[in-house]
Each structure stands twice: as C-alpha cells, then as structure tokens.
Structure 1
Amino acid sequence: MAEPGSAVAPTGHRPENLPLAALLTTTAFFCVALVGTLAKVSGQYTSTGVLLLFQNSICLLVIAPIALRGRRTSLRTNRIGLHVLRAAMGTACWYALFLAIARIPLANATLLTYSAPLWMPLIAWVVTRRRVPIPTWLGAGIGFLGVLFVLQPQTRTFDVGELIALSGALFLAVAMMSVRWLGATEPTLRILFYYFLLSTLMSIPIAVLDWEPIAGPGYAWLMGLGVAQMLSQALIVVAYRYASAEKVGPFIYSVIVFTALIDWLVWEHTPTASTYVGMALVIGGGLVAVRARRPVA
C-alpha cells in the first residue's frame, strides 16, 4: 500500500525544518482523508475493484515516466520479494478500506484501519522475537482500548464493515513494516515505482472479477481519487527531506481527525461520545507507542 507515513527519506537531507515538515505531512494526511472521501463517493458509480484499479494505475502513470527517464540500473533490485509483500499487503489494505467505507461511517472505517501502528509491536515480536519495550506495549494497550470504545462490543454485535476495517489494519501494519525493511537499501523512487506497478497488476484481476460499468460522473471522481493518492505520497516524500520519519510519523493520526470532520460535514455522521473517547485513546496510545524506545535484543 502507498501507506501514509511509510515512505522512506530520500538521500540527501536538507537542513531540518520541523514546522515545515509537520505542515507537509499533515497536508499529506488530509489528502489521504480525501482518498477515503472520494472512494466513498466513487463507490456510487462503480465497484470496489474498479476503484482500486483506477487509484493504482493513475499513480503508476505519474510515477513511471519519472522512474524510467533515469538510468535503468536505478530500478534494479535484489529485494523483489519484499516489494511483492508490500504491494500485496497495501492492495489488500486499500481494498478492505474501500469495502468498509461502503458499509460503515467513513470516520469509523478510517479509525479502525489506521489503528495499524498499534499492531506493529505484536507483529514485530512474532517475526523477530525481539523484546518490545514496555512503553510500546502500554501505548498499544491504550490504543486497543480506544478501538473497543468505537466498536462497543458489549452493546451490539460487530458489523461486517468493522471486521473488514480491522483486517485492513493488519494488512497496513505489515505493509508499513515492509517499507521500513525496504528503506534500508532501496531509494524512495524505486519503492514507489514497484509498489504502483505491482499493485496495479494485482488490481487488474480484482477489477475484472468485480467489474461494473462506470457511470458518467464516476470518471471525474475516480480521477480525483488517483490524484489525491499521488499527492499524499509526494507530500510525504518532500516532508521527509526536512525531518526524520520518527519526528513526523505521529502526524499519521491527523487523518482520523480529518475524516471525522468530513464525515460529519458531508454525511452528517455525528460522532458519539464513545467514538470521541475512542479516537482520543487510539491517537494517544499511538503517540506513546511511537515515542517509545526501539526494541532491543
């Protein structure tokens, strides 16, 4: 997935400018909120599979000429397996999110999907068996409590859309971790090129099996969807030139605030008191987790 906050910093940092980096990153996550909004609108005109294909192919059309105009050797990679993993998890995450927002409020779907950083300590422990610092577990626990406030399992049954969004969070967590692993050796442009190339190829059979004709107004909304996705990635890459990923990463949670506002203003889905509490806990727990020390052996 072209997941927000996961692009790696390009070589050659400029002098640190944290306020500018924060502004760029927050704007990038506003674009991510627009992706969800445009997908919810576009879903009225075609299928989820077609949304996914348009999103990825438009980004590929933008990034491919930039990547191919340089030396072909710049696209050579010895980590194609990780690129495939990242693309598969990203594609699965976006598909899950698009399915979820067609069934539940946009704010709830986004909140549950972007609880992904809370799952990362558990996934890291399962994969590496390295000790995870207690503050990280504490932050994850606070965040999961927030998820329960949103779901309210004690008062009602799970909606299938909520389960789909939670599955998207797991896919996103793996995708984010794969980008971190790729970032050790792969430049940003190569990571983006392979992501959009592979995710476009993966989206084709999904779109074919899930094909629905696109109604006239749908094309404009689909174009907007792809442009918003591309802008989010470009802004993140530029932001990382002015500050490290560790410093701007917490701004990922601004997407939850933006989608809640859009959901309220456009679809009149006023968040409940428990949803507000859940948002605060997820954001607070995420900030605690990402600010904790890195795992030690």
Structure 2
Amino acid sequence: MISSPTENIGLGAFYAIATALVMSIAAALIKYTATLITIEIIVAVQYAICVVFMLPWLLQKGLRGVKTDKLGLHIIRALCGWACFYTYYLAIAHVPLVEAALLRNAAPLCVPFFVLIIHKVSFAWVRWIPIAIGFLGIGLILKPDGNSLNIWHLVGFGSAITLAGSIITTRMLTRTEPTNRVLFYYFALSAVASLPLALLNWQPIPAKALLPMALIGLSIWLTMWLYTQAYVYAKASIISPLSYTGVVFAGFWGWYFWDQIPDWLSFAGVVLVVGGGIGSVVLGSQADKRHALSSNLVNKQPH
C-alpha cells in the first residue's frame, strides 16, 4: 500500500487525542459556566469568538475565499453542528459529564443510518452487529429501569444524531471545499442561528463567567483545528476510535470536580458503546478498502 505524502499515524493519533482532551476541558468549563449563565448565551458567545478567530483568514482571502456553489450544504452542515453543540451543552448541564460525553460520542453508530438515507447505500448484515451492540449500551445509559432516566439523556443522544449529520455533510463538503471555508461558514452561520435564542434567554453576564466563556470559545476553535489536523495525517479508521478517549477524560473531570462516579449500568453502557463504535468504524474501513480494491481491479481491466 502506498501512503499519502502527509500520512503520519503517530502525529495523527496525537492530534486526535489532543482533540478529545481539549473538547473534554471545554465540556468541564461548560458544566461550570452553566451555573452562572444560560446555555443559549454560552453557545452564541462561543461561535462569536470562533468567527473572530477566522477574521485574519477572511481579510487575507477576501470575498473570493467565501465564494461557493455549496451554500445549501454549508447551511445544513452548520445547523447540524450548531444543534449538536446546543443539545450537548444542555445535557452537560443536567446529567453526569461522562454520560453526556458518551452519548455525543455515539455518533459513529448513527452515521450508517444517514448514509443509508442520503446515499441509498446498503450495508452487509455484519456491519449492523456493532451498531446493535452500541445501541444496547445507549439503552443501559438511558436507565431501562426508569429510576434516573430524564429528558436530558435523550437530549444528549440528540447531540449524537446531529453530530452524525455534521460528519456526513462535512465529508461531502471537503471533497471540493477548502477547510477554512468550511469552518468559516460553520462558525458564521452557527453564530447567526445562536443569536435569536441568546436574545430570548438574555441575562446580565457576571464578571466571573467572562474568563470561562472566553476559554470555551478558544477551546472549541482549537478543537476544530486539531480535529482537522488529525485527518490530514491519519485515516478515519485511526482517528475515530481514538475520539473515545474523550469519554475517559470527561469521566476524570466529572469525578475530580463533581464527584460523579458512573453506576454499573452506565459503566457497562460505556463499554458497549465504545466497543460498538470502534467496531462500526473498523468494519466500515475494511469495507471501504475492499470497495477501493475492487474498483481498482475493474479499472485496470482492458476496455
């Protein structure tokens, strides 16, 4: 197999784990800041800060940098990403940090459903096995006995569904669109989408919330940059499983700052979701390799 000129699995893995760590720090900051200010304001300020970070690129490229014939897809991608963060932050404010992080990281289990609907691509039955295992884990986290299930667990799972939509549309966009253009439209459109809810839920921002809100915005921008760099140096089959280290980091912050320790059902759910998610990514990667090999063999046949 011939590697791409930029392929560096070690560096890609480093960026992937750094992405998960920074995102978990942002999640901990959000859980704290949500006790001081509304989630709607946090989301709006976050995206406003990210737009500010994109201004140097915009000033350098000018209007030609934002010219696109994929505006509709940019809007869908931005709304999916915005809804992902909004539902994730709402869940963080109301459920243990590790459970919110795990539910968001169930996105790989939802991706095949989007592929099936959007691209009309069917999968071999074996690929549904890890997905079923992962959803069994989600069921355990949602507490089938009903003792501690609340609406915020379902909201947290909504972040996985919308993240899956964001993943699919981002892949579609990056085939023809440069990374900075995708990020600019995402941040700018999400900032616009955040504004009405922020105004409806406006309250004075206390001074002690200013620093954590600034750090949240910086963390999200850095997360997106690290995430992009990870995919420059390594394939999705390497990066996606490593994203689950974020659940471990979130579990540590939840224990250290809030004394949150998962019960045995939640712990079992974490194991099943992580195992199912990694299995889904690995089987998907193997299927892609077989498809690519088959296509190469067909193309090499004399015509």
User: TM-score with structure 1 length normalisation?
Assistant: 0.91
CA contact (8 A) 1:264 1:271 kept: no
Aligned pair 1:255/2:255, yes or no? no
Aligned partner of 2:234 among 239, 243, 260: 243
Question: How far off its partner does 1:68 sit?
Answer: 3.1
Q: Which amino acid counterpart does residue 257 of structure 2 have in structure 1?
A: V
User: Does 1:146 pair with 2:137?
Assistant: yes
Tell me the residue number matched to 2:72: 81
How big is the shift at 1:156? 2.7
Identity across matched positions, percent: 31
Aligned to 2:85: 94
Unmatched runs of 5 consecutive residues or more in structure 1: 1-12
Query: 1:67–1:190: 8 Å Cα contact kept in structure 2?
Result: no
Q: Deviations over 1:61-85 (max 9, x none)?
A: 0012223312532321111001100
The residue that corresponds to 1:185 in the other structure is: 176
Matched, 1:281 2:272: yes
Query: Could you tell me how far 1:203 is from its partner in structure 2?
Result: 0.8
Residue 148 of structure 1 contacts residue 278 of structure 1 at CA under 8 Å; is this kept in 2?
Answer: yes
Please report how far the alpha carbon of residue 15 of structure 1 lies from its aligned counterpart in structure 2 after TM superposition: 3.5
2:167 equivalent in structure 1? 176
Q: Secondary structure at the match of 1:175?
A: helix
Aligned to 1:207: 198
CA distance in 2 between partners of 1:251 and 1:77 (Å) = 33
Q: Deviations over 1:152-197 (max 9, x none)?
A: 2135363011011112221111111111111111111110011001
Query: CA 1:73–1:246 in structure 2 vs 1: closer, same or farther (change >3 Å)?
Result: farther
Aligned to 2:299: none
- How far 1:211 moved relative to its partner? 0.9
Partners in 1 of 2:127 and 2:62 — Cα distance?
42
C-alpha distance 179-26 of structure 1, shift in aligned 2 (>3 A): same
Matched AA of 2:193? M
The reply to whether residue 135 of structure 1 matches residue 154 of structure 2 is no
Q: What is the rounded CA distance, in whole Å, between the counterparts of 2:242 and 2:124 in structure 1?
A: 22
TM-fit CA distance, 1:270: 0.8
Kindly provide the CA deviation profile for residues 205-242 of structure 1, in whole angstroms up to 9, marking residues without a partner as x.
Answer: 11001112111100011001011111111112222332
Q: Distance in 2 between matches of 1:240 and 1:157?
A: 38
Alignment-mate amino acid for residue 63 of structure 1: M
- The runs of at least 4 consecutive aligned structure 1 residues that moved more than 4 Å come to none
SS of the counterpart of 1:241?
Answer: helix
Matches within 5 A, 1:36-55: 36-55=27-46
Aligned counterpart for 1:32 among listed residues 23, 45, 69: 23
Distance, in Å, in 1 between the alignment partners of 2:270 and 2:144 is 16
The residue aligned with 2:207 is: 216
CA distance in 2, matches of 1:209, 1:49: 9
Match of 1:3 in 2: none
Question: What residue number does 2:103 align with?
Answer: 112
Q: Secondary structure at the match of 1:217?
A: helix
Deviations 1:32-57, CA, capped at 9 Å, x for gaps = 11121111111111111100011111
Aligned residues, how many? Answer: 284
TM-score between the two structures when normalised by the length of structure 2: 0.89
Bigger-Rg structure (1/2): 2
8 Å Cα contact 2:80/2:166 also seen in 1: yes
Point out the structure with the larger helix share. 2
